[in-house]
Amino acid sequence: MRIMIVGAGLVGQYLCGKFSAEGHEVVLVDRDKDKLTRIERDLNIMTVHGSGASARILAEAGIARTGLFIAVTDSDEVNLISCIMSRPYDVGTRIARVRNEDFLTPGAHAADDTLGIDLIISPDWAMTEEIVQLLQVSAAFDMAEFAGGRVLLLGYQVRADNPHAGLSLIQLKQRPGAHNYVLVAIIRQGDTIIPRGADTIQAGDKIYLMVRRDDRATTEQFFAFTSEPPRRVFIIGGGDIGYMVARRLEEFDLTVKLVESDTERCQFLAENLGRTTVLNCDGLESHDLLEEGIDLADLVICVTEHDSTNILASLLAKHHGTKRCIIRINQHDFVPMLGKLGIDVALSPRLVAANMILRYVRRGEIVSVATILDSDAEAMEFAVPEGAVIADTPLRQLSLPAGSIIGAVRREERIFIPSGETVIRGGDILVVFFARGAAETLETFFTQTH
């Protein structure tokens, strides 16, 4: 498929890398010629210098032959105009990233039929939903849903005192209390391992488990991942994301305190939030925060505009006894080192939005997708058609593409974790975890028919 992306920022580059690795024909449009030269050197894509809001530039870039159009510049207006300019052409799907809520329909990510845009996505909204989702699985640092939310992909940090550290997957399955789960990935020192039975988990690893939602609690108990739901939450930063998170958390039975240093902004927050306590103080001021009880907080969410403030505020909260911290990070290169500092979760609004775009784009035979940040792996749902080549064959007899593993099966209304004896049938939906770049190969493997 020919894909045109307008905007060579972090989101645009990230999407270019994803689609290019899957063999798509990618065209990137941007006004920064030097940036385009660097990207073209690193990725197998075509670049066009100019504005995505220009009809002439879009025509030169080949808009008439484009099946997917994505506008992700830093300008809402350019993104919307670019999508509108593509309307005279037979573009299959149009997506725009928009930050200003005034441009958004209710739901913040809905399609806009008036403009002819299939998906309008707000990075702030996407970030808010990601935080709220993680709040509900407090032991995990990452989570994705499949099978309509009935299957979870959960990421956990293996601490030095974990009783299972050093054990192989075979040994784990032999331990009392081993429950229905598939350990689908181990991330060790930046490398992603799609494990087999002899592979071990080590202290410091990040592991990803595929479980049924109903089995999450017992699986966490087996792995000694404590999961007490938070009751006392602090939010550092009363900007757009902080405000949206507070507004969402008011839907839960929580004690929420929102810290903001700007007095005028505090007045707005106090007037527009009903159950949140707004504190006019600095998120790095220990004395004020301790008086308000940050040492007793179950969760601190740091979402100011500044990475340094978010990192320092989370370290300060941890020092005073906060159980868990989630922070916003704009400089994605910082993320790998933050876990070593004791920060539980670091999220980039732009990459969260990019992954939401990927989930929307990969539809059809691919039902759902989750991209695992800071790893070279992904998880997808594949629908197995009637008459598929792989149907009626036990999993142990299938030669799965290298670096892939089936984590769950949905058969009509039944969800189960497969074993080697599981026989795949036409109509099944498979949740598959795999090394990045194998999506096209896997789609062919699972959907090819006789």
**Residue 251 resides in a domain:** yes
Q: Which of 287, 320, 352 is the last residue of a domain?
A: 352
pLDDT, mean over the chain: 88
- H-only helix segments in 263-376: 263-272, 286-291, 307-319, 335-338, 349-361
When pLDDT is averaged across residues 246-268 and rounded to a whole number, the result is 96
Count of domains forming the chain:
4
Q: What is the pLDDT of residue 293?
A: 95
Q: Whose structure tokens read 């007899």? A: 397
Q: Which of 330, 352, 374 is the last residue of a domain?
A: 352
Question: In Å, how far are 74, 288, 438 from 105, measured between CA atoms?
Answer: 19, 39, 35
Q: Which of 160, 192, 222 is the last residue of a domain?
A: 222
pLDDT reading at 187 higher than 80: yes
CB-CB neighbours of 109 under 10 Å: 18
**Residue 138 resides in a domain:** no
Judgement on whether residues 236 and 347 belong to the same structural domain of the protein:
yes
Residue 387, both tokens: 């008459």
Judgement on whether residues 253 and 341 belong to the same structural domain of the protein:
yes
Question: In Å, how far are 129, 141, 144, 235, 252 from 245, measured between CA atoms?
Answer: 8, 17, 19, 8, 11
**Residue 131 resides in a domain:** no
Judgement on whether residues 347 and 368 belong to the same structural domain of the protein:
no
Q: What is the pLDDT of residue 79?
A: 95
Work out the percent of the chain whose per-residue pLDDT is above 90. Answer: 53
Q: Where in the sequence is the domain holding 157, given as residue range(s)?
A: 149-222
DSSP-assigned letter for residue 219: H
When pLDDT is averaged across residues 240-254 and rounded to a whole number, the result is 95
> 90 burial class (0-12, 13-18, 19+ CB within 10 angstroms)?
exposed
Judgement on whether residues 110 and 170 belong to the same structural domain of the protein:
no
Work out the percent of the chain whose per-residue pLDDT is above 70. Answer: 93
φ/ψ region of 364 (left if φ > 0, alpha if ψ in -120 to 50, else beta) reads left
Query: Where is 235: in which H helix or E strand?
Result: strand 232-236
Judgement on whether residues 27 and 104 belong to the same structural domain of the protein:
yes
Judgement on whether residues 45 and 90 belong to the same structural domain of the protein:
yes
Judgement on whether residues 236 and 337 belong to the same structural domain of the protein:
yes
* pLDDT confidence band for 191 (50 / 70 / 90): confident
CATH number at residue 368: 3.30.70.1450
What confidence tens digit (pLDDT) does each residue in 400-450 have? 888 889 999 999 889 998 988 899 999 998 988 887 667 778 888 988 887
Amino acid residing at 19: F
The span from the CA of 320 to the CA of 318, in Å, is 5
- Cβ contact 430:445 at 8 Å: no
Judgement on whether residues 272 and 320 belong to the same structural domain of the protein:
yes
The span from the CA of 22 to the CA of 105, in Å, is 32
Judgement on whether residues 18 and 111 belong to the same structural domain of the protein:
yes
**Residue 128 resides in a domain:** no
Question: In Å, how far are 64, 140, 217, 410 from 2, measured between CA atoms?
Answer: 10, 37, 44, 32
Q: What is the pLDDT of residue 366?
A: 47
**Residue 359 resides in a domain:** no
Using DSSP bridges, classify how beta strands 232-236 and 255-260 pair: parallel, antiparallel or unpaired. parallel
What confidence tens digit (pLDDT) does each residue in 328-382 have? 998 877 776 787 787 888 898 888 888 888 878 765 444 555 666 556 677 888 8
CATH number at residue 102: 3.40.50.720
Q: What is the pLDDT of residue 363?
A: 55
pLDDT reading at 386 higher than 50: yes
Q: What is the pLDDT of residue 365?
A: 46
Judgement on whether residues 203 and 163 belong to the same structural domain of the protein:
yes
What confidence tens digit (pLDDT) does each residue in 286-305 have? 999 999 999 999 999 999 99
**Residue 144 resides in a domain:** no
Judgement on whether residues 203 and 272 belong to the same structural domain of the protein:
no
Judgement on whether residues 32 and 85 belong to the same structural domain of the protein:
yes
**Residue 132 resides in a domain:** no
Single out the residue of 278, 275, 272 nearest to residue 238, CA to CA: 278
